[in-house]
Structure 1
Amino acid sequence: FGTSIGFTVNNVVGTHVLLEAAREYGKLARFIHVSTDEVYGGETQLLQTEESLLAPTNPYACTKAAAEYICRAYLMSFNLPIVMTRGNNVYGPQQYPDKLIPKSICLLQEGKAAFVHGDGSPTRNYVFVDDCVNAFDIILHRGSPGGVYNIGSD
């Protein structure tokens, strides 16, 4: 994870700044907070539901969970119409080339072996970017303030 202080600045402080701006604006119809399924914890074979406990296991996931708690506080304290999403890994066109899917595709096209984390047994769930956008649109228009919505391929 290298220097993880950037996660705190971007995810915790950045979210707090946006929430405060939304509160000051006062006419917000919906605030969509984008989190991650990593807030549920490490490698588990259990399907996580929106009611599952948060148990982040790395600095990035911890900052996303902290941002969720700040969102919850603004919902309760200031009645901001916040909805939260927890998505799988998004992939699709124009993705950063250093991410797993595009990097693997490039390696395979060059006749090289794709990169495998660890012994190859860990699994990750992915969701195509168009499916993620469709989910955001549905949540924007039909999500309930205070609602948490998992977005994924399961």
Structure 2
Amino acid sequence: MIAALHIEIIFYCATFGEISAKKWDPVAVTRNNLLGFTHALNAVRSYGKIKKFIYVSSEEVYGKALGKKSELLNSRPENVVSASESGAEAMLSAYFTSYRLPLLVARLSQIVFGGVMNENNLLKKLLEG
């Protein structure tokens, strides 16, 4: 399907968020967020013509880090959703190292995400116009 559409850049945002995760069991969240993500990476690898694959993660992978958060901090997820995001980041790193794919991670903060994707968050407002 990627080849038929001549896709060059992918923004991967397909994860259960915090709100929807409460309605699902941890296995379903992990299956969707990590296994689904791995299938997407494999499709990108098979296609071979993607210029950028950007995984949209969140700052929740840091947990309750003290002080300023940085990409250099170790992840310390505190719930199933952030653990699956951290796992997806690890899988992304493995695919980058193994297959030299053009992969990036964007860890959105609560300023953009609004904490739990409520009606006041910036991303929702931007998407609605």
Using structure 1 for the length normalisation, give the TM-score.
0.58
| Aligned match of 2:46 | 24
Partner amino acid, structure 2, of 1:54? S
User: Cα–Cα, structure 1 residues 77 and 100, in superposed 2: closer, same or farther, change >3 Å?
Assistant: closer
| Aligned match of 1:52 | 73
Identity, in percent, stands at: 28
Name the Cα RMSD after superposition: 2.5
Deviations 1:9-42 (A, max 9, x none): 1210111000000000011100001111110013
Deviations 1:112-135 (A, max 9, x none): xxxxxxxxxxxxxx6x228988xx
- In the TM superposition, what is the alpha-carbon distance from 1:3 to its structure 2 partner? 1.5
Structure 1 stretches of at least 4 aligned residues deviating more than 6 Å after TM superposition: 130-133
Q: Distance in 2 between matches of 1:78 and 1:63?
A: 22
| Aligned match of 1:68 | 89
- In structure 1, runs of 5+ residues without a counterpart are 92-98, 106-125, 134-154
The structure having more radius of gyration, on CA atoms, is 1
Partner amino acid, structure 2, of 1:129? L
What secondary structure does 1:84 align onto?
A: strand
Note the 1:58-137 alignment, pairs <5 A.
Answer: 58-89=79-110, 90-91=113-114, 101-102=118-119, 128-129=122-123
Question: How many residues of Structure 1 are paired with residues of Structure 2 in the alignment?
Answer: 102
What secondary structure does 1:46 align onto?
A: coil
Using structure 2 for the length normalisation, give the TM-score.
0.69
